[in-house]
Amino acid sequence: MFDLVMFDLDGTLVETAPEIADAVNDLLRDQQLPEVSEHLIRAWIGHGTRELMLHAYAHATGLEEETVRRTGTLDILMPRFAEFYAVRTGQRSRLYPDVLSTLKALRAAQVRIALVTNKEQRFATTVLMVHGIRHYFDMVVAGDTLEAKKPDPLPVRYCLDAFKLRANRALFVGDSEIDVATARAAGVAVWAVPYGYNHGKSIALAEPDRIIPTVAAVAEAVRASALHASD
């Protein structure tokens, strides 16, 4: 059925919002600014930690986001954020149901597995290592791996090229409209989970090819395809 499955990270494989919120608020307190609610932070996840911090800092200070961009404040804040996030990573995140069993099943079926995330490489790697799943991935394409990130199709096309596969042999699994738009632009099938971070909107509005209760549906589809092929 699929020779390659690409997964998003935050909100798809790992519930990371609590500890991201902790790190953001660590930084805001460090700057003597008011904290931001986890509810808001969940709505900002998806474009990488720099964009998330832009939203949070602008919200806490009351400044326009473009003003914050122009001042170069983020260049000063992000190294400090990295320190806080390094401490917080793994403290309050968790794998979503069926993630580990699904990765094991795909590996057993010799399906290639890639991670395509907008989170920066150092943060993505830490999350994967903390939760013991890094070794399941044949490739990790992070937000700073290439010159463009989701929703640009480049990260998905990069994976397809690396594995020498056509788009119709690949599946993208995510949780947001960003993931759906990325897959559509790259011409690959896209399935979505309903429990992640989609800016407070129902994932149904993004019209993925399929909405699945958990990522276990991916392993089930691969097993069913293998059984059919053996008949």
Q: How far apart are CA 125 and CA 30, in angstroms?
A: 25
How many C-beta atoms lie closer than 10 Å to residue 79's C-beta? 8
Residue 116 zone, left/alpha/beta (φ > 0; ψ -120 to 50; rest): beta
Q: How far apart are CA 165 and CA 145, in angstroms?
A: 20
How many C-beta atoms lie closer than 10 Å to residue 140's C-beta? 17
- The letter for the amino acid at 25 is N
Element (H, E) at 20: helix 17-30
Spatial contact of 165 and 185, defined as CB atoms under 8 Å apart: no
Catalytic residue (choose from 8, 22, 98, 175)? 8
- Residues 6 or more apart whose CB falls under 8 angstroms from that of 51 comprise 44
- Residues 6 or more apart whose CB falls under 8 angstroms from that of 187 comprise 153, 167, 168
* 188, two tokens: 């690959």
Annotated active-site residue 8? The verdict is yes
**What residues are annotated to the active site?**
8
